[in-house]
A and B are shown apart, each in its own frame.
Chain A
Amino acid sequence: MSPLEWLASVCFILGCSLNLIAAIGALRFPDLLARMHAATKPQVLGLILTMAGLAASLGSSQLTWKLLIVVLFQFMTAPVSAHMVGRSGYRTGKVRDEDLVVDELTEDLRRVQQADTQPPTS
């Protein structure tokens, strides 16, 4: 095998094993946000690795640009969905307080609510 083929094989195997580990994590982790952390792994590093492997095994510069665009698109869209899911999970109370070491968002929200309900004393 040529060095390029070795590189492609290693990238593919690493990318696929990241997918598998992320799936194990998603199955094992106890709460919503921890599962989300597991899900971002194949979406970012796994995608970079598999696209690098594909670029190395196809070996045409024309397609390498296209694969770069695939990674770029994923980088623009993946945080959007992660943020939306995390936010609505937080807002609908899927995040349990006892799982967190500190929760400064809930503290701040409570403070804002108090400021809204109590008229300023000055």
Chain B
Amino acid sequence: MSPIVLWVGGLMLAAAALLIVVRIERGPSMLDRTIGLDMLVSVVVAALALWSGATGRTDLVNVLVVLTLVGFVGSVTLARFVAVEPEDEGRILTPEEVRAHDDRMRAAIAKESKRRVGGREDAMRRAYPEDEDPR
């Protein structure tokens, strides 16, 4: 196989992977990211096939078998355990928000442990009532 095919195909796959990573970062929900990861698996499968065809490495075929067989497990698991998540939950937080989050948590734990010893879990539950399973 000519190196032109390897280069053209490889560049297309790299661009595809980049776009998928952008989609995974944007979300907005966990399921969108799951789809992105599924697509990333199929890009990896195509890349392995391309590499195997270009170099004649036949051992990579076994990797393809395993990837296509178990690639779905992750997304099924995620889809099974995705509960009703709040609209804002799927976003990646900015550094300020992360700091505010940490401060809120630390304050809640400090307040609670002053009141009684060993109340860490209760404090978290009181600080984040929405974290409880809505079912």
Q: Do chains A and B touch in the complex (CB under 8 A)?
A: yes
Binding site for B on A (CB under 8 A): 1, 5, 8-9, 12-13, 15-17, 19-20, 22-24, 26-27, 32, 35-36, 39, 42-43, 46-47, 50-51, 53-54, 57-58, 60, 63, 66-67, 69-71, 73-74, 77-78, 80-81, 84-85, 87-89, 92-94
Q: Which of B2, B22, B23 has the most CB of A within 10 A?
A: B23
List 12 other contacts, CB 8 Å, given A67-B61, A77-B69, A92-B82.
Answer: A12-B5, A19-B46, A23-B19, A39-B38, A60-B58, A71-B68, A77-B72, A78-B72, A85-B31, A87-B79, A88-B79, A92-B31
B53 touches A57 (CB 8 A): yes
Residues of B within 8 A of A94 (CB): 29, 31
A91, chain B: closest CB distance, angstroms: 8
Binds A, one of B9-17, B98-106, B111-119, B121-129: B9-17
Count residues on chain B whose CB falls below 8 Å from chain A CBs.
50
B38 touches A50 (CB 8 A): no
A81 touches B16 (CB 8 A): no
B27, chain A: closest CB distance, angstroms: 10
12 A-B residue pairings within 8 Å (CB atoms): A8-B1, A23-B20, A27-B19, A27-B23, A32-B31, A42-B46, A57-B1, A58-B53, A74-B68, A81-B76, A92-B85, A94-B29
Residues of B within 8 A of A93 (CB): 84
A48, chain B: closest CB distance, angstroms: 11
B87, chain A: closest CB distance, angstroms: 10
